[in-house]
């Protein structure tokens, strides 16, 4: 059974205006296997998937499903053929109930009417299979992203799918939820489903998949069994360079007597975080580790005035301040790259130039506009300095890749010449090359005397860059570690069990 | 090659289609009436006369409101209350200048209260109502279309309360100048409109306010986190729209030298929104074009004028207006523009390819 | 399973999605109670007053049925008043001037109204023109055609129309072994029946058919609906078509109510209809709305003029202001409800190493 080929894609070519998005790519999937699809952003993963789901149309090539040639025309057509997809952003309707989200469009009917009883009963059964004991008659928006993700998978599986495509389903899940998802994936695999799994997290690739296919720049690099390829080799194949040359970084050098730039004492707000105290020296890089929802983002937002701190004080360069909104923070020389780039960072319809000049302009107030020449100067300077890949500064930021968008946001803040820069997950969802560049930029700025707060879910980059590591847990600061000496396992233990259990060196 | 590519991007620009539409409509006017473009000077009134002047004059009220509406739409919203505000402004102005039958016999050349009050108070009230809209939207976090629906529904009621349901008339000549007089050989409304256009354009484009509006319109959260005071931007835009509605209301009531709580500014919100959209500003917010809006407003008025020429009753002009607007909007719609642009691009590529060979 | 069943009834009733309907019903009851206390002696609580609220607003209600669906998809339709007015015009002109049978006129109106609705739906979905602009153009068109037909009010005189307009079922009670009309007499007429039937049809469509559920899905998230393989385009086009049907029926009932056709009748009715839906708990952002809410929205809107009439001292324009305030109140309640229940729970953690 494992060797039965379910899906075969041969010599797929797709041409976009100006670019060949896919060039003679082969891909095959067996029944009862989990097959990871890997590559940097822009390598052609999503284009290949969209070919299968009927969103993009091939210019050349053949798709065989169970040996029969298919040509998916639309998402609906793909679903009819037995190809189901679960996307990174939950694509369900928040206003409908959980049960209805699973069955909408194919509700069981009784005497010409929708049979709500059966729908709800079957939904309960299905969700139980995914270990979710929830009230399926509540609106979907009532539940966490993880549950929503499970509902999406339940829907995808229930429509008699032969192939399940999971497009970065894990980026907003915690460890336990990821484990749960993997259990479900393994169950489905045992039932003979073919699963295509796309993720940026290499550990997950090794934890769950049987084989992997690597794409680079629209070309096929190869298909390998997970045992055949080490992590380092995998990254090398994905990037085309080896890892050491990518991450050749040096920690910022902070003098012991460097003045404190930012001191927060006992800041907090009900329902957000409790009693956080940190002090950040000039030119220092402070890493924030902790789970999503542990209070990292809330702390950053409070420091920047995006959320109101009801208690505690914030001092900038030793002076007490009253930061009530982002504008106040901006005027005090602070800068903040938010976690959700699309929602809180980019202004999609405006050009790169306008996006870069925005914060500088906001600081000057609208009555003192930057001239077009000044804006162009700023834009050109940072496009060059950060290596933003664009033909010119007038391109809409929304049309750039994730990594380049992130660089524009960074440029927006660098242009204000901040004293304190807060970066919330600046490297999430961007490829390894761009990640390394952003880390390098961060460290360069530290070298220039900027103090940086760096929040990330990826512990290796925290440890690689930070002078000091703050560990957050359950909306509290539980430890402050030295960046040079701390280890991943130490941080993980603190996150999992608290500072005391880890031998508590909280200062 | 380069030039050809420009054509294809021109074909994709909404403004291009608006210009083409206006040109075509004018051309039809010219065919129907060969003396359409004639402009004559009347020494007795010191004013220029002609169809073109008339079109611009009659479009003044909408153009003025549409200036504010452009920014409201750039913020991703709509302001439905402008028509009601026009009625309120007229009601207040006439309340101050009313001809009272118990004091005077005819609506003569006098005002009951100082003229300044009749001008300033309506404008202040309209600004206040605009701020009320802004308050619901910026602080209350409501959708603009719903928030402004409230004043749209009760605004005319307020106008009637101001005048106690009566219709006043006035004969005060300084007030008459606003809607019926002339300045620099042109009807005063045109002069006022030009001043408004210049002031708003300067305010928006010579400061960074326009960029702030666009930034807030595209992504309010990102704009706020970049240090822009989004609430302030929303307040200013809605207050400005209220103020402009007030000016428009004064012009309207000066034209009829009376107040009319039921019909003053009726459907102005619709016409203003239409003008903005025809002018190429997308209803989803973001980039906006004030020049396009002015053109859009003039297109709407030209259509009405054209329809008069065919001798069709004024109420029925709506049907023809609808047909022409439908054509413009369909031509401007994304799929159609893309299709045109693709065809031109394909042709230019073909031609370019030929040259290389 | 057992657990789910056990909590099902209370859970169903306390489901946050019904809060807006409760609010509408609750506020209606409060206002009704107020009217009963203040004007009970003048006859506010009689069945007649209550039924008059239906009779005087049936045409708004019928239109509100279609409007609710359009609003649930996240759209808007500004053409309803004009299409209803056009229907009245067709009937008046057809019967009085051309001498046609009213059924022919109504059939013709249906073709035009539904056709215009479908066309607008098509333009909205396939040409991606905002609903506001598309239906505004539709409104201009319908109004203009009205005026092309006639600029005078035309009386409707036809035995069938007279019979329909005069047809009434009186409420009776048993007195001394005989059925007599209750005093003051209260009745339902043809319009009320159409209204109630349309509310029922609307409820069945929304709750019992796939088409209805697709409407909610589209309003919740159109992109998702598309990716879930739902027929988004077809549904939207049909919703606007159905709304056209409702507008025509509203026009017919309005014609029966005033027995004439006039090119300027029902000006601004679209806003009253939208207001009814909104105070009935329908979200203008789409995705939420119930027919029962709309029914009470219509009653809530019609109770204000009733109160003003009973008061006798207030002038009619207070009605507009009261409606505006009611709208404000409802929008505030919606805001609070959405904030309290719709908020997504905090994102769950994730750590990678």
Q: Which of A330, A363, A367 minimises the CB distance to B207? A: A367
Note whether B341 contacts A: Cβ–Cβ < 8 A: no
Domain residues for the domain of C57 are 21-338
Any domain includes A269: yes
CA angle C300, C303, C308 (to 5 degrees): 140
B290-309 vs B268-278: helix crossing angle, rounded to 10? 110
- pLDDT for B4: 44
Q: Are B290 and B14 in contact (CB under 8 A)?
A: no
Any domain includes A338: no
Find tokens 């709208």 and name the residue.
C327
Strands A468-473 and A285-289, bridge-based pairing: parallel
Question: Closest approach of chain A CAs to the CA of B156, in angstroms?
Answer: 35
Beta strands in C42-171 (DSSP E): 154-155, 168-170
Tell me the two tokens of residue B320.
């023809």
User: Which position has the higher pLDDT, A29 or A293?
Assistant: A29
| Same domain, yes or no: A160 and A16 | yes
**What span, in angstroms and rounded, lies between the C-alpha atoms of B234 and B241?**
11
- pLDDT for C197: 95
**What span, in angstroms and rounded, lies between the C-alpha atoms of A383 and A391?**
10
- The pLDDT profile of chain C, 353 residues, written as one tens digit per residue, is 334 444 456 666 777 677 888 888 888 999 899 888 888 788 888 888 888 888 889 999 999 999 999 999 999 999 999 999 999 999 999 998 888 888 999 999 999 999 999 999 999 999 888 888 889 889 889 988 988 888 888 888 888 888 888 888 888 888 888 888 887 788 888 999 999 999 999 999 999 999 999 999 999 989 889 888 888 999 999 999 999 999 999 999 999 998 888 888 888 888 889 989 988 888 888 888 999 999 999 999 888 888 888 887 777 778 888 888 888 888 888 777 766 654 443 333 333 33
| Same domain, yes or no: A33 and A176 | yes
Cβ contacts (< 8 Å) between B161 and chain C: which residues?
317-318, 321
Tell me the two tokens of residue A308.
């109101």
User: For chain C, which chains pass the contact test of at least 3 CB pairs under 8 Å?
Assistant: A, B
B321–C151: do the CB atoms touch at under 8 Å?
Answer: no
| CA-only gyration radius of chain C, Å | 22
C208–A104: do the CB atoms touch at under 8 Å?
Answer: no
| Range in A439-453, B51-65, C40-54 the model is least confident about | C40-54
| Number of residues assigned to chain A | 507
The confidence band for B8, taking pLDDT boundaries of 50, 70 and 90, is low
| Total domains present in chain A | 3
- pLDDT for C1: 38
pTM comes to: 0.81
Quickly list DSSP for A104-143: TTS--EETTEE-HHHHHHHHHHHHHHTT----TTSBGGGS
What is this model's ipTM? 0.80
Question: Closest approach of chain B CAs to the CA of A363, in angstroms?
Answer: 7
**What span, in angstroms and rounded, lies between the C-alpha atoms of C284 and C297?**
14
User: Which position has the higher pLDDT, C178 or A196?
Assistant: A196
Optimal mutation site among B138, B140, B144, B153, interface C, most CBs of chain C within 10 A: B153
**What span, in angstroms and rounded, lies between the C-alpha atoms of A291 and A175?**
9
B315–C278: do the CB atoms touch at under 8 Å?
Answer: no
**What span, in angstroms and rounded, lies between the C-alpha atoms of C210 and C216?**
10
Give the tens place of pLDDT for each residue, B228-273: 888 899 999 999 999 999 999 999 999 888 888 888 888 888 889 8
Number of Cβ within a 10 Å radius of residue A323:
21
Find tokens 């708003």 and name the residue.
B200
Tell me the two tokens of residue A155.
């829907």
Break chain B into its structural domains and give their ranges. 47-322
Find tokens 């500064």 and name the residue.
A393
| Secondary structure (3-state) at A481 | strand
Cβ contacts (< 8 Å) between C6 and chain A: which residues?
none
- pLDDT for A290: 80
Reply yes or no on whether the pLDDT at B221 is more than 90: no
Percent pLDDT > 90 in chain A is 3
Give the residues across from A86 on adjacent strands.
A166
Q: Are C62 and C250 in contact (CB under 8 A)?
A: yes
Note whether B222 contacts C: Cβ–Cβ < 8 A: no
Q: Are A242 and A216 in contact (CB under 8 A)?
A: no
Distances (CA, A) of A366 to A375, B72, B334: 14, 18, 33
Note whether B226 contacts A: Cβ–Cβ < 8 A: yes
Domain residues for the domain of A223 are 5-244
Find tokens 């049936």 and name the residue.
C58
- pLDDT for A1: 43
Any domain includes A58: yes
| Number of residues assigned to chain B | 357
> Which residues does B166 contact at the CB level (< 8 Å), separation at least 6?
none
| Same domain, yes or no: A59 and A138 | yes
- pLDDT for A505: 45
Any domain includes C345: no
Cβ contacts (< 8 Å) between C324 and chain B: which residues?
150-151, 153-155, 157
Any domain includes C295: yes
User: Which position has the higher pLDDT, B126 or B3?
Assistant: B126
On the 0-12 / 13-18 / 19+ scale of CB atoms within 10 A, A143 is: buried
Find tokens 């009313």 and name the residue.
B98
Tell me the two tokens of residue A500.
């005391």
Q: What CATH number did the domain enclosing A104 receive?
A: 3.40.50.300
- Dihedral sign of CA atoms A455, A458, A459, A463 in order: negative
**What span, in angstroms and rounded, lies between the C-alpha atoms of B99 and B256?**
14
* Residue B75 CA to its chain's centroid (Å): 16
Stretch B324-351: mean pLDDT: 70
Stretch B273-300: mean pLDDT: 87
A93–C225: do the CB atoms touch at under 8 Å?
Answer: yes
| Same domain, yes or no: A229 and A254 | no
| Same domain, yes or no: A132 and A233 | yes
| Same domain, yes or no: A503 and A436 | yes
Reply yes or no on whether the pLDDT at B85 is more than 70: yes
User: Which position has the higher pLDDT, A43 or A247?
Assistant: A43
Beta strands in A202-295 (DSSP E): 211-216, 219-225, 260-269, 273-281, 285-289
Any domain includes A164: yes
Question: Closest approach of chain A CAs to the CA of C74, in angstroms?
Answer: 12
Give the tens place of pLDDT for each residue, A3-44: 678 888 888 888 776 667 788 888 888 888 899 988 776 678
- pLDDT for C5: 42
Note whether B101 contacts C: Cβ–Cβ < 8 A: no
Q: What CATH number did the domain enclosing C93 receive?
A: 1.10.3470
| Total domains present in chain C | 1
Q: Which of A91, A177, A203 minimises the CB distance to C223? A: A91
Residue A199's region, left for phi above 0, alpha for psi from -120 to 50, else beta, is: beta
**What span, in angstroms and rounded, lies between the C-alpha atoms of A485 and A2?**
46
Stretch A64-71: mean pLDDT: 86
Question: Closest approach of chain B CAs to the CA of A290, in angstroms?
Answer: 23
Any domain includes C305: yes
Main-chain dihedrals φ then ψ at residue A489, nearest 5 degrees: -65, -35
User: Which position has the higher pLDDT, A475 or B245?
Assistant: B245
Among A397, A416, A435, where does a domain finish?
Answer: A416
H-type helices in C127-221, by residue range? Answer: 131-149, 159-166, 190-208, 210-220
H-type helices in A92-242, by residue range? Answer: 98-103, 116-129, 145-158, 175-190, 202-208, 231-239
């Amino acid at each position: 059974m494992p060797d039965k080929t379910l899906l075969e894609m041969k010599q797929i070519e797709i041409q976009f205006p100006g670019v060949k998005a896919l060039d003679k790519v082969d891909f095959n999937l067996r029944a009862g296997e989990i097959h990871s699809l890997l590559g940097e952003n822009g390598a052609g993963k999503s284009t290949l998937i969209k070919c299968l789901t009927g969103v993009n149309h091939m210019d050349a090539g053949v798709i065989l499903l169970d040996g029969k040639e298919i040509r998916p025309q639309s998402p609906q057509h793909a679903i009819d053929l037995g190809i189901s997809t679960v996307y990174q952003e939950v694509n369900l309707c928040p206003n409908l109930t959980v049960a209805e989200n699973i069955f909408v469009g194919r509700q069981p009917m009784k005497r010409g009417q929708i049979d709500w009883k059966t729908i709800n009963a079957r939904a309960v059964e299905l969700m139980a299979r995914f270990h979710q004991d929830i009230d399926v008659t509540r609106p979907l928006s009532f539940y966490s992203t993880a549950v929503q993700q499970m509902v999406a998978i339940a829907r995808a599986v229930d429509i008699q799918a032969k192939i399940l495509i999971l497009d970065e389903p894990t980026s907003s899940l915690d460890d336990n939820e990821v484990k749960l998802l993997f259990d479900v994936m393994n169950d489905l695999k045992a039932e003979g489903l073919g699963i295509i799994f796309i993720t940026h997290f290499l550990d997950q690739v090794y934890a769950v998949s049987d084989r992997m296919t690597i794409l680079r720049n629209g070309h096929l690099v190869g298909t390998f069994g997970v045992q055949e390829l080490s992590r380092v080799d995998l990254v090398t194949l994905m990037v085309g360079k080896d890892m050491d040359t990518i991450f050749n970084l040096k920690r910022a050098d902070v003098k012991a007597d460097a003045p404190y730039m930012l001191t927060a004492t006992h800041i907090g707000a009900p329902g957000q975080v409790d009693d956080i105290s940190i002090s950040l020296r000039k030119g220092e890089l402070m890493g924030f580790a902790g789970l999503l929802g542990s209070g990292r983002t809330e702390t950053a937002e409070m420091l920047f005035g995006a959320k109101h701190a009801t208690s505690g004080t914030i001092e900038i360069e030793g002076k007490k301040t009253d930061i009530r909104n982002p504008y106040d923070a901006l005027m005090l020389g602070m800068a903040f790259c938010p976690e959700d780039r699309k929602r809180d960072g980019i202004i999609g319809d405006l050009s790169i130039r306008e996006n870069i000049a925005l914060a500088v302009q906001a600081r000057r107030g609208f009555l003192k506009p930057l001239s077009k020449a000044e804006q162009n100067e700023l834009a050109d300077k940072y496009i060059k300095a950060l290596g933003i890949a664009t033909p010119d500064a007038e391109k809409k930021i929304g049309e750039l890749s994730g990594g380049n968008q992130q660089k524009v946001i960074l440029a927006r803040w660098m242009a204000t010449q901040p004293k304190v820069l807060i970066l919330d997950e600046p490297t999430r969802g961007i490829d390894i090359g761009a990640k390394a560049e952003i880390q390098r930029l961060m460290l360069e700025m530290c070298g220039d005397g900027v103090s940086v707060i760096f929040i990330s879910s990826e512990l290796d980059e925290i440890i690689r860059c930070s002078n000091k590591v703050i560990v957050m847990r359950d909306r509290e600061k539980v430890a402050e570690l030295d960046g040079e000496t701390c280890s991943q396992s130490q941080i993980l233990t603190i996150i999992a069990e608290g500072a005391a259990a880890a031998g508590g060196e909280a200062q | 090659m380069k030039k050809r590519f420009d054509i294809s991007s021109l074909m994709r620009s909404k403004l291009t289609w608006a210009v083409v539409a206006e040109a075509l409509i004018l051309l039809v006017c010219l065919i129907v009436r060969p003396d359409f473009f004639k402009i004559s000077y009347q020494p007795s009134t010191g004013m220029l006369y002609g169809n073109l002047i008339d079109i611009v004059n009659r479009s003044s009220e909408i153009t003025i409101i549409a200036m504010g509406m452009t920014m409201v739409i750039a913020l991703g919203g709509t302001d439905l209350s402008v028509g009601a505000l026009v009625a309120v402004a007229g009601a207040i102005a006439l309340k101050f200048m009313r001809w009272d039958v118990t004091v005077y016999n005819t609506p003569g050349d006098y005002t009951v209260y100082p003229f300044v009050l009749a001008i300033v108070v309506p404008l202040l009230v309209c600004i206040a109502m605009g701020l009320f809209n802004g308050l619901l939207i910026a602080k209350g976090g409501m959708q603009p279309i719903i928030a402004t629906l409230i004043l749209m529904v009760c605004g005319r009621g307020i106008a009637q309360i101001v005048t106690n349901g009566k219709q006043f008339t006035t004969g005060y000549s300084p007030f008459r100048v606003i809607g019926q007089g002339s300045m620099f050989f042109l009807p005063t409304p045109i002069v006022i409109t030009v001043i408004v256009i210049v002031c708003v354009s300067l305010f928006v484009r010579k400061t960074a306010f326009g960029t702030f509006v666009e930034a807030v319109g595209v992504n309010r959260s990102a704009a706020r986190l970049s240090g822009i005071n989004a609430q302030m931007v929303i307040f200013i835009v809605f207050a400005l729209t209220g103020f402009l509605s007030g000016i428009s209301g004064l012009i309207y009531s000066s034209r009829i030298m009376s107040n009319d709580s039921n019909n003053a500014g009726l459907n102005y919100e619709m016409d203003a929104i239409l003008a903005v959209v025809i002018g190429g500003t997308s209803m989803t917010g973001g980039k906006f074009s004030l020049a396009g809006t002015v053109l859009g407003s003039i297109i709407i008025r030209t259509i009405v004028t054209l329809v008069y020429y065919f001798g069709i009753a004024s109420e029925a002009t709506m049907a023809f207006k609808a047909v022409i607007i439908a054509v413009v909007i369909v031509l401007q719609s994304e799929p159609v523009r893309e299709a045109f642009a693709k065809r031109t691009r394909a042709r230019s590529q073909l031609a370019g390819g030929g040259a290389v060979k | 399973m057992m657990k789910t069943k056990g909590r099902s009834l209370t859970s169903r009733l306390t489901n946050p999605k019904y809060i807006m309907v409760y609010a509408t019903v609750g506020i209606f009851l409060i206002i009704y109670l107020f009217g009963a206390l203040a004007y009970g002696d003048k006859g506010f609580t009689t069945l007649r007053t209550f039924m008059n609220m239906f009779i005087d607003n049936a045409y708004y209600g019928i239109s509100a049925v279609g409007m609710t669906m359009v609003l649930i998809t996240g759209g808007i339709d500004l053409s309803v008043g004009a299409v209803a007015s056009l229907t009245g015009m067709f009937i008046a002109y057809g019967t009085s001037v051309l001498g046609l049978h009213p059924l022919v006129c109504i059939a013709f109106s249906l073709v035009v109204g539904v056709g215009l609705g479908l066309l607008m739906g098509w333009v909205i979905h396939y040409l991606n023109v905002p609903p506001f602009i598309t239906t505004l153009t539709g409104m201009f068109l319908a109004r203009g055609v009205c005026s092309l037909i006639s600029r005078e009010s035309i009386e409707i005189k036809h035995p069938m129309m007279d019979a329909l307009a005069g047809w009434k079922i009186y409420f009776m009670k048993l007195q001394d072994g005989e059925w007599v009309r209750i005093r003051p007499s209260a009745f339902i007429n043809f319009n009320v029946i159409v209204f109630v039937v349309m509310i029922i049809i609307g409820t069945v469509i929304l709750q019992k058919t796939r088409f209805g559920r697709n409407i909610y899905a589209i309003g919740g998230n159109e992109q998702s609906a598309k990716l879930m393989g739902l027929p988004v385009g077809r549904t939207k086009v049909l919703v606007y078509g159905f709304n056209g049907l409702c507008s025509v029926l509203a026009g017919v009932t309005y014609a029966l109510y005033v027995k004439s056709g006039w090119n300027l009748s029902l000006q601004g009715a679209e806003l009253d209809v939208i207001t009814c839906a909104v105070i009935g708990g329908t979200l203008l952002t789409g995705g939420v709305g119930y027919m029962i809410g709309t029914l009470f929205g219509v009653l809530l809107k019609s109770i204000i003029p009733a109160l003003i009439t009973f008061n006798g001292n207030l002038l009619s324009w207070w009605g507009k202001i009261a409606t505006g305030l009611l709208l404000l109140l409802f929008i505030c309640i919606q805001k609070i409800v959405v904030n309290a229940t719709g908020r997504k729970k905090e994102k769950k953690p994730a750590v990678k190493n």
